[in-house]
Structure 1
C-alpha cells in the first residue's frame, strides 16, 4: 500500500513565486492566507544573513589590513588596497541599509579578528602578526583610516 504525499507548498515549489505571492498578500492586507510559518523563517533568515555578511566583510577587511601592514610584499600592496577599498565600500552600503548592525560591530569585530588572525598566520607563518588589533577598532576608523600610512605604527 503506497502512501500519497501531500502536494508541495508554493514555498517548497518556487520560493521566488512564494515571496511575490506573500508580498502581494501583505499589500492587500490578506493576512488570513499568509504562510506565516515560512514568512517567520524568512524574516529570521534575513537578519541572520545581514549579521553573517557583516562578519564576513569585517573578516576580509581585517585580513587585508593585516597583510598590508605586516607582510612586506610590495608587489601585493595594490591588490590588498583594492580589496580593502572594496570591503569598506560594501560595509558602508551594508550599514546604510541596516544601521542597527553598527551596534553589533564590536562583537562581530572580535569574532572577525580571531578568524582573520588565524587565516593570515596560516598564510604567512613567517610574519609576526600582533595578538591584538593595534589600531582604533571603531567603525569609522575601520572604514576610513589607512593604518599602513601611519608612521607611528608599531609593527
Structure 2
C-alpha cells in the first residue's frame, strides 16, 4: 500500500481498487475498505432523508403559505418526489427505513426546521400526512 488512507483518500481508493482487481487480497486495507463501503450506504440513506425533508418543507409551505404558492415550489416538490423514487429504486433495502418511526420523526423535525427558518411560522411537531400522500404526484395540500 503506497498511499495511506489518511493522506489522500482518492489515491488510496484507486490503489485499493487496483489491488482488488489484481487479486492481491493480502495487500488491501481491509478495515478502511469496510468503513468506506458502510459510508456508501449511509450516504444513500442521507440523500433519502435530505430529499424527503426538502419535500416535506415545501409541502408545509404550500399548505400554510397559500398566497406564496408558485411554480418554483411545485417544481421542487416534483423533483424531490422523483429523487426519492430514484433512491428507493437504486437501493430497495431503504424501503424498510420508511417504517422506522424514529427515522421518520427525525426527517419531519428537519423539514419543520427548514420550513420555520424560511417562513418564521411554527409547524406541527408530528407528521400530518402519510408517506403515501407525500409521494402522491397529485397531492398538493390545501
Tell me, yes or no, whether TM beats 0.5: yes
Which runs of 5 or more residues in structure 2 are unaligned? Answer: none
Contact 2:58–2:77 (8 Å) recurs in 1 = yes
TM-score for both structures, normalised by structure 2: 0.81
Aligned to 1:112: 107
SS in 2 for 1:132: coil
Alignment pair present for 1:13 and 2:7: yes
Contact 1:57–1:91 (8 Å) recurs in 2 = yes
* Pairing of 1:1-155 with structure 2 (within 5 A): 9-74=3-68, 76-107=69-100, 108-126=103-121, 129-138=123-132, 141-148=133-140
Count how many residue pairs are aligned between Structure 1 and Structure 2.
139
Deviation at 1:29, TM superposition (A): 2.4
Contact 2:54–2:80 (8 Å) recurs in 1 = yes
The structure with the largest alpha-carbon Rg is 1
Which runs of 5 or more residues in structure 1 are unaligned? Answer: 1-7
TM-score for both structures, normalised by structure 1: 0.75
| 1:68-88, Cα deviation, whole Å (9 max, x unpaired) | 1221234x4211111111111
RMSD, matched Cα: 2.3
How far, CA to CA, are the matches of 1:109 and 1:145 in structure 2? 20
How far, CA to CA, are the matches of 1:35 and 1:145 in structure 2? 45
How far, CA to CA, are the matches of 1:144 and 1:24 in structure 2? 44
Runs of 4+ in 1 over 6 A off after TM superposition: none
